């Protein structure tokens, strides 16, 4: 295990060394903090998690297959009913892990289909019961009830029809498809498809049982899968073909609508360093892709790959970068000089354009040799990469969300956009051509390009491998730094104990009393200097930082209210049906860019993120460093005075040990505080969305109950409901952000008060006590037996640490 040495060090410190040091007068608050920093470093991800997102059918699965060098994922992705993500990870034995939907999800689909049929006069005496908490958008609106002749009404009708058609197709897909021996789906009526779902759910049939007889084998299989999990391994299935067949069945076959979660383990060199996550395509029904991508970016995403066609969709990509939280990650900043998230753009279908240009070049060349397809594609790819980078920069810089920000925050946001675009990797890829040239060369039709390198796939793979190496190296560096800090701190504590009990230092009690009295005079002279900077530092930590947090949240509330006003203005330009669709979905109708909860949450969190680093993090770290540096200066002055009074009592080694401890304690406190600030900002991101959603959801439901969305003036009443709910949401969100930040900062400050600030709030007094304490006096007066016992304990601890050092060396050489 690569982290075994660090785990062993922590165990040795906690179980053996800590009690020994504490018994011998050492304050181990900094040691405990150093352990926490090391544990946090060990918790950092050592592997890069790469998420792929883009429009449906844009070529994400083909790109992932090309990067893996095998047909691992069927085109079209997985989980078409709920648009789930597929994680591809390393496994020596190819493995497929699947979790199927429970009864609730299938019952919701049946309820939606029955509602649709009832609208068309196809009723039953016994109705299909809805699940207990049916989702607001489970049943599409009736297209016949959507009035109006403008574009908005036309789009709303088309969307409702498309969604219902999709649901029916998925129901029929579950019961019948083109698989060998399966009934044809074209023979399955809508009514019979509903009865088939009811049979799977265990409900009483309302049709003649003979009508479902031919579907009974499939119904039985679905019943058996409902709400279950399974793991399939290639070794158990026998052959790679058998494994691929089972994978395809669940990824794109008749079982796919029932799949809730889907992970694939493959024996691929690329996957030894990173995980690939195929996120659902933008544009699937209900458009949950952005939410899925947002979860990926927020929770574990190290890299986001946006896949786009050569025609471009840069405005949509720019909006997706904002919606997923990638911009927010940049605003909050990275760690240890590393980008907070790596963004890559993969442009597909450029070979279509290059193919046309090649045909024209052949005609133009006549009898001369035309440019090679690789050359034409390469030139076009270079032009496209520059164009995409520029267009995304323009789209991000002209985002309406920037209009909500005050000038200073807008400037910082624009600087972040510039940084992201500069670091963004853009690569044009031709995955089908790469497949034809490599792993599918025996069966595929020859592609346009002549060499694998020209397809851009090898270059894209090298980008990912480099980023994965950076992630691993960053974690290794963090672990090494934290490991070294803990070791040095323990070494310095052991050295301090050793100096306490060093031979030849015994002094009479009178000598100790005289030394203490003399040194106390110097202490009184240094205290005014100490008081001056102590008051300044504590004012910053206990007064200024909380004030800044309060101001941060107040500014965020102002920005969010500005955003709310802009949303209302935008709403006035939309058709009633679009607004009503958003009202029925708690303020969300993605097809028209309406998302009150996310827009207002983003306004709050992004504003906090913009000022978080300069206003809070840097201020805190600078204050701690300043406290530590000034403390050290005063301690050195006191130590100089101590030498003047009695150099025999206070050896240079003892003074140096105390100073080294002071330096190590300050460095540990700064590192530990940084980790706590990381946790604090993550808590804000995770908890704020639900706080904002609730008032909006409540306002929408109340408006529907009062039928505010019906009859004349409904559009204005819907906008008023959004405004009312949004204003309450902003107030609650700002209050929650302030509460979270303030409470967690108080905990942080309390922990600092128990440790670092306790040591540094009165540094000369602490140094005075260290140099004249009874512990030191007792150590100097101790008999040979006691001295030997303590020094043997120091030696034993050092031997344990030496064994650990040998482990590190052995691991390094292996």
Residue 777: band (very low, low, confident or very high) from pLDDT cuts 50, 70, 90: low
How would residue 562 be classed by pLDDT, with cut points 50, 70 and 90?
very high
SS3 call for 261: strand
Pick the residue with more confidence: 370 or 811? 370
Query: Bridge-partner residues for 304, per DSSP?
Result: 51, 343
Identify the residue with better confidence: 148 or 231: 231
Which residue's structure tokens are 């922990």?
751
| Nearest alpha-carbon partner for 791 in 577, 501, 537 | 501
**Closest-CA residue to 401 (of 469, 331, 352):** 331
Q: Residue 718: name the closest of 533, 598, 587, 532 by CA.
A: 587
Q: What is the 3-state secondary structure (H, E, C) of 159-185?
A: HHHHHHHHHHHHHHHHHCCCCCCCCCH
Closest alpha carbon to 258 in 209, 204, 296, 218 = 218
Element (H, E) at 398: none
Whole-angstrom Cα distance, residue 153 to residue 155? 5
| Average per-residue pLDDT for the chain | 80
How far apart, in whole angstroms, are the C-alpha atoms of residue 217 and residue 219?
A: 5
Q: Which of 490-494, 610-614, 792-796 has the lowest mean pLDDT?
A: 610-614
Q: What per-residue confidence (pLDDT) applies to 614?
A: 79
Residue 63 is predicted with a pLDDT of 92
Percent of the chain with pLDDT over 90: 18
Angle value at C-alpha 23, between 22 and 28, nearest 5 degrees: 5
Fold classification of 48-72+278-455 (topology level): Rossmann fold (3.40.50)
Mean pLDDT of 324-347: 70
Question: What H or E segment, with its residue span, contains residue 241?
Answer: helix 240-251
Evaluate whether 348 touches 307 at the Cβ level (below 8 Å): yes
Nearest to 396 by CA among 375, 422, 368, 358: 422
Residue 606 · residue 331 · CB < 8 Å: yes
Judged against a pLDDT cut of 50, whether residue 383 lies above it is answered with yes
Phi and psi dihedrals of 400, rounded to 5?
-60, -25
Among 512, 503, 494, smallest CA distance to 787 is for 503
Selection from 537, 547, 536 nearest residue 623 by Cα: 537
**pLDDT in the model for residue 551:** 92
Beta-carbon contacts of 789 under 8 Å, excluding residues fewer than 6 positions away, are none
According to DSSP H, which parts of 259-324 are helical? 289-299, 314-324
| 27 strand-pairing partners | none
Q: Which of 640, 651, 665 shows the shortest CA–CA distance to 501?
A: 651
Is the pLDDT score of 195 beyond 80?
yes
- Per the model's pLDDT, the better-predicted residue between 265 and 814 turns out to be 265
What is the pLDDT at residue 95?
Answer: 95
pLDDT at 776: 58
pLDDT confidence tier of residue 430, bands split at 50, 70 and 90: very high
What was the pLDDT predicted at 715? Answer: 92
Residue 721, pLDDT score: 93
Cα 700 to the center of its chain, rounded Å: 30
- pLDDT recorded at residue 525: 82
Indicate if the pLDDT at residue 806 is higher than 70.
Answer: yes
- pLDDT above 80: residue 169: yes
Averaged pLDDT for residues 629-639: 78
CB-based contact 16:800 (threshold 8 Å) = yes
Nearest CA to 760 out of 500, 521, 543, 536 is that of 536
pLDDT value for 716: 93
Range of lowest pLDDT (217-226, 409-418, 477-486, 698-707): 409-418
Per-residue pLDDT reduced to its tens digit, 675-705? 666 666 666 666 777 788 789 889 998 998 9
Q: Exposure pattern of 387-406 as b/e (b: 16+ CB <10 Å)?
A: ebbebbbebbeebebeebbe
Mean pLDDT, range 40-68, rounded to an integer: 85
Quickly state the pLDDT bin for 588 (edges 50, 70, 90).
confident
Structure confidence by residue, pLDDT tens digits, 712-753: 899 999 999 999 999 999 999 899 888 888 887 888 788 777
Q: For residue 448, count other CB atoms closer than 10 A to its CB.
A: 19
User: Per residue in 205-250, pLDDT tens?
Assistant: 888 888 899 899 999 999 999 999 999 999 999 998 899 889 878 8
* pLDDT given at position 219: 94
The percentage of the chain sitting over the pLDDT mark of 70, rounded to a whole number, equals: 77
Position 654 pLDDT exceeds 60: no
CA distance 329 to 297: 8
> Does residue 796 or residue 163 have the better pLDDT?
796
Least confident of 47-51, 77-81, 299-303, 523-527: 77-81
Q: Is the pLDDT reported for residue 565 higher than 90?
A: yes
Q: Where are the domain boundaries for CATH 3.40.50 in the chain?
A: 48-72+278-455
Give the model's confidence band at 506: pLDDT under 50 very low, under 70 low, under 90 confident, else very high. very low
pLDDT higher at 13 or 593: 13
Judged against a pLDDT cut of 50, whether residue 11 lies above it is answered with yes
Minimum mean pLDDT range among 260-264, 492-496, 718-722, 809-813: 809-813
Q: Which residue has the higher pLDDT, 281 or 335?
A: 281
Closest CA to 631 of 452, 766, 525: 766
- Find the distance separating the first CA and the last CA of the chain, reported in whole Å: 13
In three-state secondary structure terms, 139 is: coil
Using alpha carbons, list the distances in angstroms from residue 102 to 140, 227, 524, 684: 22, 4, 74, 32
Q: What is the pLDDT of residue 801?
A: 87
Whole-number pLDDT of residue 237:
95
Mean pLDDT, range 305-320, rounded to an integer? 72
Residue 490 above 70 pLDDT?
yes
What pLDDT is stored for residue 504 in this prediction? 45
Angle 545-572/596-611 helices, nearest 10 degrees? 150
Q: What is the pLDDT of residue 77?
A: 45
């Amino acid at each position: 295990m690569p982290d075994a040495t660090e785990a062993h060090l922590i165990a040795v410190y906690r179980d053996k060394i800590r009690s020994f040091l504490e018994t011998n007068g050492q304050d181990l608050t900094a040691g405990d903090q150093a352990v926490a920093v090391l544990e946090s470093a060990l918790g950092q991800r050592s592997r890069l998690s790469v998420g792929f997102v883009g429009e449906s059918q844009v070529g994400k699965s083909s790109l992932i297959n090309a990067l893996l060098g095998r047909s691992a994922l069927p085109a079209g992705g997985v989980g078409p009913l709920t648009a789930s993500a597929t994680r591809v990870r390393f496994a020596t034995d190819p493995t497929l892990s699947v979790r199927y939907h429970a009864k609730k999800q299938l019952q919701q689909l049946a309820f939606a289909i029955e509602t649709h049929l009832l609208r068309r006069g196809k009723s039953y005496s016994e109705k299909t019961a809805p699940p207990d908490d049916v989702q607001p958008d489970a049943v599409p609106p009736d297209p016949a009830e959507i009035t109006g002749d403008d574009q908005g009404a036309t789009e709303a009708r088309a969307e409702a029809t498309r969604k219902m058609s999709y649901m029916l197709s998925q129901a029929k897909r579950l019961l019948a498809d083109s698989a060998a021996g399966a009934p044809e789906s074209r023979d399955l009526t809508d009514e019979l498809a509903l009865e088939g779902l009811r049979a799977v759910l265990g409900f009483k049939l309302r049709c003649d049982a003979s009508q479902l007889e031919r579907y009974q084998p499939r119904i039985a299989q679905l019943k058996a899968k409902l709400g279950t999990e399974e793991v399939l391994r290639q070794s158990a299935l026998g052959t790679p073909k058998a494994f691929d067949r089972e994978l395809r069945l669940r990824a794109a076959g008749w079982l796919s609508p029932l799949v809730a979660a889907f992970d694939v383990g493959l024996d691929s060199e690329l996957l030894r360093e990173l995980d690939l996550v195929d996120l659902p395509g933008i544009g699937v029904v209900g458009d949950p892709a952005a939410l899925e991508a947002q979860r990926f970016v927020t929770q574990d995403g190290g890299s986001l790959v946006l896949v786009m066609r050569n025609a471009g969709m840069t405005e949509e990509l720019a909006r997706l970068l904002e919606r997923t939280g990638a911009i927010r990650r940049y605003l909050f900043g990275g760690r240890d000089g590393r980008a907070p998230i790596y963004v890559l753009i993969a442009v597909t279908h450029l070979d279509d354009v290059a193919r046309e240009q090649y045909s024209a070049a052949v005609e133009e060349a006549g009898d001369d040799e035309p440019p090679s397809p690789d050359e034409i594609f390469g030139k076009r790819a270079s032009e496209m990469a520059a164009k995409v980078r520029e267009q995304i920069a323009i789209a991000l810089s002209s985002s309406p969300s920037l209009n909500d920000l005050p000038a200073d925050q807008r400037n910082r946001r624009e600087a972040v956009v510039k940084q992201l675009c500069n670091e963004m990797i853009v690569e044009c890829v031709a995955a089908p051509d790469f497949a034809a040239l490599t792993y599918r060369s025996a069966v595929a039709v020859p592609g346009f390009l002549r060499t694998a390198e020209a397809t851009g796939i090898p270059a894209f793979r090298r980008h990912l491998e480099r980023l994965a190496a950076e992630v691993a190296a960053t974690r290794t560096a963090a672990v090494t730094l934290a490991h070294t800090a803990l070791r040095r701190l323990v070494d310095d504590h052991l050295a301090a104990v050793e100096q306490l009990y060093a031979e030849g230092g015994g002094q009479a009690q009178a000598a100790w009393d005289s030394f203490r009295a003399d040194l106390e005079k110097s202490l009184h002279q240094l205290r005014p200097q100490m008081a001056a900077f102590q008051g300044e530092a504590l004012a910053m930590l206990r007064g200024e930082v909380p004030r800044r947090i309060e101001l941060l949240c107040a500014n965020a509330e102002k920005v969010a209210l500005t955003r709310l006003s802009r949303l209302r203005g935008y709403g006035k330009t939309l058709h009633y049906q679009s607004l009503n669709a958003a009202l029925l979905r708690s303020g969300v109708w993605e097809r028209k860019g309406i998302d009150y909860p996310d827009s207002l949450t983003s306004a709050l969190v992004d504003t906090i993120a913009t000022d978080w680093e300069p206003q809070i993090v840097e201020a805190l770290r600078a204050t701690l460093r300043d406290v530590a540096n000034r403390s050290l200066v005063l301690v050195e002055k006191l130590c100089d005075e101590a030498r003047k009074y009695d150099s025999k009592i206070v050896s240079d080694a003892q003074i140096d040990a105390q100073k080294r401890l002071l330096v190590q304690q300050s460095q540990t406190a700064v590192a530990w505080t940084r980790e706590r600030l990381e946790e604090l900002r993550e808590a804000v991101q995770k908890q704020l969305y639900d706080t904002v959603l609730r008032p909006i959801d409540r306002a929408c439901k109340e408006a529907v109950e009062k039928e505010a969305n019906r009859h004349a003036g409904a559009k204005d009443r819907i906008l008023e409901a959004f405004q009312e709910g949004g204003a309450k949401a902003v107030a609650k969100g700002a209050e929650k952000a302030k509460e979270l930040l303030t409470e967690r900062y108080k905990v942080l400050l309390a922990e600092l008060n128990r440790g670092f600030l306790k040591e540094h709030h009165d540094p000369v007094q602490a140094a005075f006590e260290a140099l004249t304490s009874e512990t030191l006096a007792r150590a100097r007066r101790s008999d040979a037996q006691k001295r030997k016992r303590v020094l043997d304990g120091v030696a034993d601890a050092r031997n344990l640490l030496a064994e650990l050092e040998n482990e590190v060396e052995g691991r390094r050489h292996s």
